[in-house]
Amino acid sequence: MNAKSAISKEIFAPHDERMLGAVQVKRRTKKKIPFLATGGQGEYLTYICLSVTNKKPPQASITKVKQFEGSTSFVRRTQWMLEQLRQVNGIDPNRDSPEFDLLFENAFDQWVANTASEKCTFFQVLHHTCQRYLTDRKPEFINCQSKIMGGNSILHSAADSVTSAVQKASQALNERGERLGRAEEKTEELKNSAQQFAETAHKLAMKHKC
């Protein structure tokens, strides 16, 4: 079981929460933390996790989870409700970068993800979650690449393409139907004309016969 699966099972499942995404991080700027604040356990790994409750109405939150050196278990540390998130800073919109900042109502952290792709995936999930679960005040996403902000742009583009194709096909069928309709009308007119000609010819033939 990888670390993220273990976090989901140990930290969130027991509280009837579902983990949506996680990113392993390190601080860009070191904070002076007293030895006792870490429980005297030395080095640790940090994960920023995004989760949502299973009960209704669902509530999303961001949680800082740590795994101390020499331990196989994970510890829940700080947790913020998603509503407390004010700003997500991607640092550089022009290149893949692992750095990012998170600004909450009462906290500000500067992080470096393990990889730029891991950060990108987390940002896409975070952006989608904000759009889905926040109805009023949503956080500001700044200095983010378009592929992050448009996590569903490919789906929307595909949907638009399908809709456009359906509309074009429908229009073509309607035009074909109109052409067929006009052809049928023309055929009917020719049929009536032929019938009238035949009747007239028959009358003339009978007249001359008499």
The amino acid sitting at 100 is: F
Task: Tell me the C-alpha distance between 56 and 145, whole Å.
Answer: 33
| Other CB atoms within 10 A of residue 119 CB | 25
Over 90: is that where the pLDDT of 157 sits?
no
Two tokens, residue 93: 């919109």
The amino acid sitting at 6 is: A
DSSP three-state, residue 82? helix
Tell me the average pLDDT across 14-40.
78
More confident residue, 184 or 206: 184
Over 60: is that where the pLDDT of 65 sits?
yes
The amino acid sitting at 197 is: F
pLDDT in tens, 39-62: 555 799 999 999 999 999 999 999
pLDDT in tens, 73-93: 999 999 999 999 999 999 999
> What are the domain boundaries of the chain?
3-150, 152-209
- What is the architecture, at CATH level 2, of domain 3-150? Roll (2.30)
pTM: 0.67
